[in-house]
Amino acid sequence: MHSSEQQRFAELVTSALGYYRQDVTPFTLAVWWQGCQPFALEQVSKALTAHATDPDRGQFAPKVADIVRILGGTSTDRAALAWGKVYEAMGSVGAYTDVVFDDAAIHAAVADMGGWQKMCRSSMDELSYLQHRFCESYRAYSGRGEFDYPKVLTGDRSPDELYLKRGMKPPKPRVIGNVETARIVYSKGAGRLDLPALEQRRAA
């Protein structure tokens, strides 16, 4: 969600909790906003309805964790999906191209494992271990509120300075996933690349 939708989001959560006769404080709204911000407002609205109509859980007021579970699955599910996205990009994009994913936890996990180039050059024999390590790291980061991560996972290419010295523009990163979410990941990560350099070229 964008910051411009925060008021509509607050009204949605207030109405949903009002259905359960619960009062909403500024702190409650702040927790809900932080927890649901990665999702679209329409997705959150549908998830709240899904919770309310769930015959097992719907009798209780929803918590942020309920909505995140409906929209994103368990942490194990999310880690498996994240690995699938990374594995596909390793094959279709490769080690020589900079990449920006639409998930900051992917950036942090890949960086912990030695970076994009190293992962792309892993042998088939290492894949099972690589997947295990990635999923463990991804779950750890996705469970945190904030963490440091590189805004771009750098490929094995010449430095930007060399391109500029020759009067050429550095190559643009490949965006993997939702371009708007990737822009947010890019803008909040560490580094100084220009945001307009991003282009949406999904991995096929």
pLDDT, tens digit, 9 for 90 and up, residues 3-32:
889 999 999 999 999 999 999 999 999 999
pTM reported for the whole predicted model? 0.62
The two structure tokens encoding residue 164? 């500029």
Nearest to residue 78, comparing CAs of 105, 99, 116, 48? Answer: 105
Percent of all residues in the chain with a pLDDT value above 90, rounded to a whole number: 61
Whole-number pLDDT of residue 15: 96
Give Cβ neighbours of residue 67 (< 8 Å, ≥ 6 apart): 35, 36, 39, 44, 47, 48, 51
Q: How far apart are CA 74 and CA 18, in angstroms?
A: 27
Chain-centre distance of CA 45, in angstroms?
Answer: 20
- Res. 133: pLDDT tops 90: yes
Task: Tell me what the mean pLDDT of segment 140-163 comes to.
Answer: 86
User: From CA 114, how far away is CA 154, in angstroms rounded?
Assistant: 11
Q: Which pLDDT score is estimated for 194? A: 37
